[in-house]
Structure 1
Amino acid sequence: MAIVDMPLDKLRDYRGTNPKPDDFDEFWNESVAQIRTIDPAFELIRADFQTPGIECFDMFYSSAKGARIHAKLCKPKKISGKLPALLKFHGYSGSAGDWADLLGYAGCGFIIAAMDCRGQGGLSQDVNPVDGYTYDGHIIRGLQNSPENLLFRDIYLDTAMLAKIVLDMPETDSERLGAFGGSQGGGLTLACAALEPRVSRIAPIFPFLCDYQRVWSLDLETKAYDEIKQYFRRFDPLHKKETEVFTKLGYIDCYHLSEKIKAKTLMFVGLRDTICPPSSIFAAYNNIKADKKLEIFPDFGHENLPTAADMTFQHFLQWG
């Protein structure tokens, strides 16, 4: 098979490169504690889009730094007993997508909520006050300030707040909350499960936001990760602060967060992926201590993986 990263036997043992801040656990414990003090003031507004048997709502809720976050929520009209629930997270720069994308799960008896990431293609607010570079890239947004101002810190907390809101709904079975998504959505799935331990099943597809220094070292910082290279070119061309930069990025590195995951995990990777290289994904997978399975697609890159959507669907239907 073609090798764009490292041989498969090496990948199976690889556990990451990007440095982990010494106060990583304290940082995230304090961050989660902060949002638990926020009144989400969530509201459900009946959407213009409706279908027989399924109710569709625009959801708005307050999260980190007071931003109002938007999600699309669908649920069956007829509810008997407690229902399983799912959170869906979108790819980088995208949005919650079309209502029709959620109907398959809702039609099978799930509550499903799809979040708009703040500052990207949907309706969520971006209120992050930061210095410097905001032109291109959310990974580096806030990097010139304290770790609390990293934009992805707040986006990760938005996922945890959404999980709590859905878990608190009277019709939700608190033992059956899942999360899934591809690329950025895969990374947010990892972050959500790490920060909300009641998430019990996840299905991240080639997750983004993992092992930043490894991606940079491969000279694959193009497209999604190009902002890291651009940050050095603009603000640290001699790399005098390289260790400091990657250590600060370590706060929002999902391969470190993966150690906290308790959810049953089904992950997907393409071995020809040059956008989210396989080693970055294996770093996250290999650090998960929970029940897990990795589906490997040797001849695929960062693209549609045939049968992945079906396997994801079955992963959640196994709840019964």
Structure 2
Amino acid sequence: MLTDLGLDELWEYRSSYARPDDFDSFWDSTLAEARAIDLDVEAVPVDTPLKTLDVYDVSFAGFGGDRIHAWLRTPQGQSGLPAVVQYHGYGGNRGSAVENLTWASAGFAHLQVEVREQRGGGGFLTRGIADRSTYFYRRVFTDAVRAVDAVRALGSADVAVIGNSQGGGIALAVAGLVSDLAAVHSQAPFLCDFRRALNVCGNPPYTELTKYIADNRRSDVFPTLSYFDGVGFAARATAPAWFSVGLMDDIVPPSTVFGAYHAYAGPREMAVWEHSAHEAGGSDDLDIALDAFRTRLLELS
């Protein structure tokens, strides 16, 4: 069943989100503070049974100098390739060295970043929410930008960012914070249009926020969230972007995806999967992104 507005209404929907006046200066200063710390990229070769790909265990200094980890997979013996930086879903992790081989097999350098502290956990939506400077996603989004810096330091000039759900929301944030990305693929992006999401979604993870508001008798979380809303980042983004949405998604309301899509400042396309849920087209949508990225990055490099 549909979980939100009908398709005609979704195309007309516009978010009521209002970006704070100091949104840009807050993020400019946050990234400047992070970049004042040496990136200190390390890439250690990993012995795997894979015959066509090389794998490296990468780490670099993220927010506050904390070590952030990622897998880098590349076609065997190749370097300086266009890169795809991928962020994972809520409570997930980077998996094993021999998982998720699609992008490297397609000819890209593929950096799969692990979101700090999230292996199998929850409760991150409210962590540090009392103040924008302490909010959990300030660190996460900064780490994500530093991941782009890291893959460039390893030799990739052209970089795209991708993700599903939380990963899609992180990719949107990076698109708004890094001005010269080559492309963006955001499947069912989480962390967008918070007020709308909390009004219409009754499932986790958004219910972490509604429960926090109810338990603490406070609704003053929105000033903090306004600095981390994907709609705000979308309005700053200029790289070509491919969005996708499943109209039966009961985790990320489709209207919140459209809210970010309509605010996106760069060239954009939306794949609507009427009978998909949170997978937002899944492998069929991945085919669209692979074809687009092949034309955009590989053929032009």
Q: What is the match of residue 23 of structure 1?
A: 22
Q: What is the match of residue 303 of structure 1?
A: 279
Q: CA deviation at 1:211?
A: 1.0
**In the alignment, is residue 7 of structure 1 matched against residue 3 of structure 2?**
no
**In the alignment, is residue 143 of structure 1 matched against residue 143 of structure 2?**
no
What are the ranges of 5 or more consecutive residues in structure 1 without an aligned counterpart?
A: 123-134
**Mapped contact 1:272–1:298 kept (Cα < 8 A):** yes
**In the alignment, is residue 261 of structure 1 matched against residue 237 of structure 2?**
yes
Q: What is the match of residue 162 of structure 2?
A: 180
Equivalent pairs counted in the alignment come to 296
Amino acid at match of 2:171: T
Amino acid at match of 2:239: A
Sequence identity of aligned pairs in percent?
Answer: 30
Q: What is the match of residue 98 of structure 2?
A: 100
Question: 1: CA distance between counterparts of 2:252 and 2:164?
Answer: 11
Greater Cα offset, 88-97 or 17-26: 17-26
**In the alignment, is residue 223 of structure 1 matched against residue 199 of structure 2?**
no
Q: What is the match of residue 108 of structure 2?
A: 110
Q: What is the match of residue 293 of structure 2?
A: 316
Matches within 5 A, 1:1-320: 3-79=2-78, 82-121=80-119, 136-144=122-130, 146-170=131-155, 172=156, 174=157, 176-218=158-200, 220-236=201-217, 239=218, 242=219, 244-303=220-279, 305-306=281-282, 307-318=284-295, 319=297, 320=299
Q: Secondary structure at the match of 1:83?
A: coil
CA gap of 1:148–1:65, structure 2 versus 1, over 3 A, is same
Q: Secondary structure at the match of 1:223?
A: coil
Q: CA deviation at 1:50?
A: 4.7
Amino acid at match of 1:141: R
Greater Cα offset, 177-186 or 191-200: 191-200
Question: 1: CA distance between counterparts of 2:111 and 2:190?
Answer: 20
1:80-106, Cα deviation, whole Å (9 max, x unpaired): 7x4111101111000112333443322
CA gap of 1:19–1:234, structure 2 versus 1, over 3 A, is farther
Give structure 1 regions of 4+ aligned residues with deviation exceeding 4 angstroms: none
**Mapped contact 1:207–1:276 kept (Cα < 8 A):** yes
**Mapped contact 1:143–1:248 kept (Cα < 8 A):** yes
1:19-75, Cα deviation, whole Å (9 max, x unpaired): 432321111111111112111111112223252232111111111122110101112
**Mapped contact 1:73–1:114 kept (Cα < 8 A):** yes
1:131-185, Cα deviation, whole Å (9 max, x unpaired): xxxx9521211012x2111111110111100101112223x2x2x2111111111
Question: 1: CA distance between counterparts of 2:248 and 2:213?
Answer: 27
Question: 2: CA distance between counterparts of 1:41 and 1:64?
Answer: 13
What are the ranges of 5 or more consecutive residues in structure 2 without an aligned counterpart?
A: none
Q: Secondary structure at the match of 1:51?
A: coil
**Mapped contact 1:63–1:161 kept (Cα < 8 A):** yes
**Mapped contact 2:192–2:256 kept (Cα < 8 A):** yes
Q: Secondary structure at the match of 1:52?
A: coil
Q: Secondary structure at the match of 1:12?
A: helix
**Mapped contact 2:41–2:153 kept (Cα < 8 A):** no
TM-score by length of 2: 0.92
Greater Cα offset, 188-197 or 302-311: 302-311
TM-score by length of 1: 0.87
Question: 2: CA distance between counterparts of 1:208 and 1:252?
Answer: 11
**Mapped contact 2:88–2:164 kept (Cα < 8 A):** yes
Question: 1: CA distance between counterparts of 2:101 and 2:184?
Answer: 19
Question: 1: CA distance between counterparts of 2:214 and 2:106?
Answer: 50
